[in-house]
Amino acid sequence: MNRSPRRTPPVAALRRALATWLAAFALVAGAGAVRAQDTPSEIRIGATVSLSGPYQGIVGPFGKLASAWAERVNAKGGIFLKQYNKTLPVKLVMYDDKSEPTTALSFYERLATVDKVDLFIGPFSSGMNNAAMQAALTHQIPYFIPEGNDAVLFDTPNPWRATATAQADAEYQRLSELYARLKGVKTFAILARDNLHEIAAAQGFANRLKQSGYQIVYQDVAPKETKDFASIILKIKQANPDVVSVEGLAPPWTIQFLKQARELGLAPKDVVVSHMPVPVIRALGDASENVIAMLWSYEGDTPDHRELDELCKAAGIERWQYSEAGVRFVTYRWIEEALKRAGTLEHEAVRKAMFEADFTLYGGDRVRINEKGYGSLMTYPMQVRQGRLVSLWPLEHGLAAHAFKDGRW
Amino acid sequence: MDIQSVLQLVINGILGGGVYALAALGLALIFGVSGVLNLAHGEFLMLCGFVTFLGYDRLGINPFLLVFLIPPVFFALGYGFERILIRPLALRKEHVRLASATLVTLGAALIFEDVASFASAGTEFDKSIGYFIGSLTVGSVVLPSLKLIIFGLVLLLMAQLAWFLKYTYVGLAVQAVTQNARGAQLSGVNTATINGVAFGLGTFLAAAAGALEVIHSSVSPLVGLPLTLKYLCIIVMGGLGSFAGVALGGLIIGLSESIVGYFTPAWGQTVAYLLLVGVLLVRPKGLLGR
């Protein structure tokens, strides 16, 4: 019997051919998609800035500062990432966190899940970062903290966060060095606003002074809501310190204290206000003359100084007007270093490079990150002269330039 | 602690309590007449503080002159607030009316707060007038001149309010409605209008307190609700319906903040609420409540 070969029905053959073709297409398209996903077109950086709320007076212009940095990087073509053999532009996604930790956290969640950013720049202050950096841990995204250096941020395990600044209790180190060499000062009064950073920084200052043989005649913490400082000022007057130091991140709080100190005749030899952005100087007017402050940069003429000044100019501010502008600048430099070192946007590689970054600033200050996540950057002492902050650093220059306030408001 | 320090704390407390008492009187007046707890009361203080700041900062007008110029405008705002948002609820059952009205004022408070926050974006969050007058010193006791002037203005406004309530027809009508609204209505008092006047007067007092607050201290968009709660403490502590009790409550809060703040700043702000609980346990009607 002549058996004819088994034939596939024409419709079934057509179906099989179509299925094969579709499978092949899906494979090719999928591979293409994977490749496209592997080669990003931009570096997406997510951040929140306090454009409103109590911190607005201290970091309000930093949205513009970040945009100025991104424009500057992009004007040079972007940042070269070896894995893609491409220079990618920086794309910033920013929101106003209203100076509220819970609002900040919700925006960082959004940045991770909706905006799909490659890395985070944290908000202002330890308290805000303590809330917001949970998003970094949850979504495993590298988190660069600009201002936030309290132990509570680094005692809990979270390998995705780090800061370029030294621990909060070392923040007054350079000012302590200056006082150690100044004559005529023996006693200190230290008041801190009831907030994570302020308490730690003030305690660090007190410890350093005690180690250097100074006497702390008054030390206390006042609630964030305090508006009437009369009782506190009375107690400080009774302690009769040579130096009164006020540690407060929120300008309104600091302004109230200083205005009332002047009104109630508190007249120490020196007044130290750790965070003294231009709104505080403006609110005090002539009374701000010779107040000591601290800044994350100092006057100089290195390429870094010039670059920082240009960024600030583009943001419509001057470097001395906002003490934290210097640390933002360092954070941007650190991000560039880390991305170049990682050569990719893969989160784990960027995280690793974030810790390995090692660079110098202002012609000599080295910035490194230790295994806990703290950096090595410290503040520089400054002093108000005719409505602007002038540098009391390097140390020898500071000793010569320093002038006591001597109770003159 | 020496006697001069005690004297200094008492002076600071009394001077600080004056503005509290002034704003709390406004809240008590509105509550006494209409039965509505106006949770937007502190917001009017905040808004007037902002306007005073702008008048000084942008137009260069003396802030003490603004204390007399701006609050009358807020009388009209308060009257309009009652007319537009509260009066439409008048025909509802009493308990529904009071609950709805309180919720309406809460909503208004949140809206005012958000609008002020939005308007403040890009400028200093806390508005504060950099006004300074040298203080007087008696022995080692400092008498802050600015606070003394402000306290004097508070006393002047309180005296004017007392005169208004005692010697004018509208003032007597306000008192009548506070004591017995139905009785006042049967005697020919237009209670709807008097409710509006009470809102206007209460808002006027809050606005005056706001103008004084921004001269000496500062106001921010978020200051309203916490202040309203503090004023509520003062009027409950002093005794609902007693204006003298409210003035006394304000001074007690000022004094207690001053004295407690000296020993422990952390508890200085909380003491108002602790005192309220203490007073209510001993005298549930408040210190001078009937």
DSSP string, A277-290: -HHHHHHHGGGGTT
Give the global pTM: 0.80
Compute the distance between CA of residue B236 and CA of residue B196 in angstroms, rounded to an integer. 23
Whether the CB of B139 is below 8 Å from some CB of chain A: the reply is no
Please tell me if residue B57 touches chain A, with a CB cutoff of 8 Å: no
**CA gyration radius for chain B?**
19
For CA atoms B96, B101, B102, B108, give the dihedral sign.
Answer: positive
CA distances from B161 to B147, B201, B209 (A): 21, 9, 14
Nearest by CB to residue B146, choosing from A228, A263, A284, is A263
Could you give the angle at the alpha carbon of A139 between the alpha carbons of A137 and A144, nearest 5°? 60
Q: Which of B142, B262, B269 sits opposite A264 (nearest CB)?
A: B142
Instruction: Please state the rounded mean pLDDT for residues B249-272.
Output: 89
Characterize A381-393 residue by residue with b for buried, 16 or more Cβ atoms within 10 angstroms of its Cβ, and e for exposed. bbbbeeeebebbb
Give the Cα separation of A229 and A244 in Å (integer). 14
Return residues 247-266 of B near A (CB < 8 Å).
257-259, 261-262, 265-266
Do residues B142 and B136 lie in contact, with contact meaning Cβ atoms separated by under 8 Å? yes
Task: State the number of CA atoms in the 13 A half-sphere of B284 facing the CB.
Answer: 0
3-state secondary structure of A12: helix
- pLDDT at position B118 over 90: no
| CB-CB contact of B49 with B214 (8 Å) | yes
For residue A62, give how far its alpha carbon lies from the nearest alpha carbon of chain B (Å). 11
According to DSSP, residue A4 is labeled P
Sequential DSSP letters for B82-100: IIIIIGGGTTS-HHHHHHH
B6, B12, B3, B9: which is closest to B148 by C-alpha? B12
Residue of A nearest to B130 (CA): A283
Contacts of B217 in chain A (CB under 8 A): 227-228, 256
Q: State residue A9's pLDDT score.
A: 58
CATH 1.10.4030.10 fits A43-165+300-377, yes or no: no
Distance from CA of B82 to the nearest CA of A (A): 30
Question: Is A57 in contact with B269 (Cβ distance < 8 A)?
Answer: no
* Nearest in space to A398 (alpha carbons), one of A385, A381, A386, A373: A381
Query: What pLDDT is stored for residue A196 in this prediction?
Result: 84
Q: Indicate where chain A has its CATH 3.40.50.2300 domain(s).
A: 43-165+300-377, 170-295+381-401
Tokens of A36: 């496209």
Number of other residues whose CB lies within 10 A of the CB of residue B236: 23
Contact A143, A375 (CB under 8 A): no
Q: How is chain B split into domains, by residue range? A: 3-14+29-228
pLDDT tens for each residue of B161-216: 999 999 999 999 999 999 999 999 999 999 999 999 999 999 999 999 999 999 98
Nearest to A222 by CA among A242, A250, A259, A243: A250
Q: What pLDDT does residue A335 have? A: 97
- What is the helix (H) or strand (E) element at residue B104, kind and residue range? helix B94-120
- Chain A touched by B120 (CB under 8 Å): yes
Residue of A231, A263, A287 lying closest to B268 (CB–CB) = A231
Distance in angstroms (rounded) separating the CA atoms of residues B211 and B157: 13
Residue range B220-238: mean pLDDT, rounded: 92
**Residue B178 touches partner A, C-beta closer than 8 Å:** no
Q: In Å, how far are A73, A294, B40, B111 from A122, measured between CA atoms?
A: 20, 21, 35, 29
CATH number of A170-295+381-401: 3.40.50.2300
Q: How far apart are CA A389 and CA A319, in angstroms?
A: 9
Count CB-CB contacts under 10 A for residue A46. Answer: 25
pLDDT per residue rounded down to tens, chain A (409 residues): 444 445 555 666 666 666 666 665 555 454 444 444 568 999 999 999 998 888 888 898 999 999 999 999 999 999 999 999 999 999 999 999 989 999 999 999 999 999 999 999 999 999 899 999 999 999 999 999 999 998 889 988 899 999 999 998 898 999 999 999 988 899 999 999 998 889 999 999 999 999 999 999 999 999 988 888 999 999 999 999 999 999 998 888 998 899 899 989 899 999 999 988 888 898 888 899 999 999 998 888 899 999 999 999 999 999 888 889 999 999 999 999 999 999 999 999 999 999 999 999 887 889 999 999 999 999 999 999 999 999 999 899 999 999 999 988 8
Q: What is the DSSP string of A297-311?
A: S----SHHHHHHHHH
In A156-190, which positions are buried (b, 16+ CB within 10 angstroms) versus exposed (e)? eeebbbbbbbbbbbbbbebbbbbbeeeeebebbbb
A185-to-A77, A131, A243, A267, A404 alpha-carbon distances in Å? 53, 40, 7, 14, 10
Q: Give the alpha-carbon dihedral of A94, A96, A102, A108, to 10 degrees.
A: 0
pLDDT tens-digit map of B133-154:
888 888 888 899 999 999 999 9
Number of H helices, E strands in chain A: 16, 16
Cis peptide before A394 (omega within 30 of 0): yes
Q: What is the DSSP string of A139-208?
A: HT--EEESB---HHHHHS--TTEEESBPPGGGTTHHHHHHHHH-SS--EEEEEEESSHHHHHHHHHHHHH
Residue A344 DSSP SS3: coil
Distance CA B124, CA B133 (A): 23
Instruction: Decide: A253 and A223 in contact? Cβ < 8 Å.
Output: no
The C-alpha atoms of residue A282 and residue A317 are separated, in whole angstroms, by: 14
Q: Are A383 and A390 in contact (CB under 8 A)?
A: yes
Q: Classify residue A9 by burial, with Cβ atoms within 10 Å: 0-12, 13-18, 19+.
A: exposed
* pLDDT of res. A22: 62
Please tell me the distance in Å from B118's CA to the nearest CA on chain A: 8
- Distance, in Å, from the CA atom of A305 to the CA atom of A322, rounded to the nearest integer, reads 15
Task: Provide the pLDDT for residue A1.
Answer: 42
- The model's pLDDT over B65-92, given as tens digits with 9 standing for 90+, comes to 999 999 999 999 999 999 999 999 988 8
Of B16, B120, B266, the CB nearest to A194: B266
Cβ neighbours of residue A253 closer than 8 Å, sequence gap 6 or more: A54, A193, A222, A224, A226
Mean pLDDT of B20-41: 95
C-alpha of B190 from chain center:
26
Instruction: Kindly identify which residue of chain B lies nearest to residue A220, measuring between CA atoms.
Output: B265
Residue pair B101/B84 in contact (Cβ under 8 Å)? The answer is no
Q: Which of B12, B126, B251 to mutate to test the interface with A (most CBs of A within 10 A)?
A: B126
What is the rounded distance in angstroms from the CA atom of residue A39 to the CA atom of residue A87? 11
Does the pLDDT value for residue B157 go beyond 90? Answer: yes
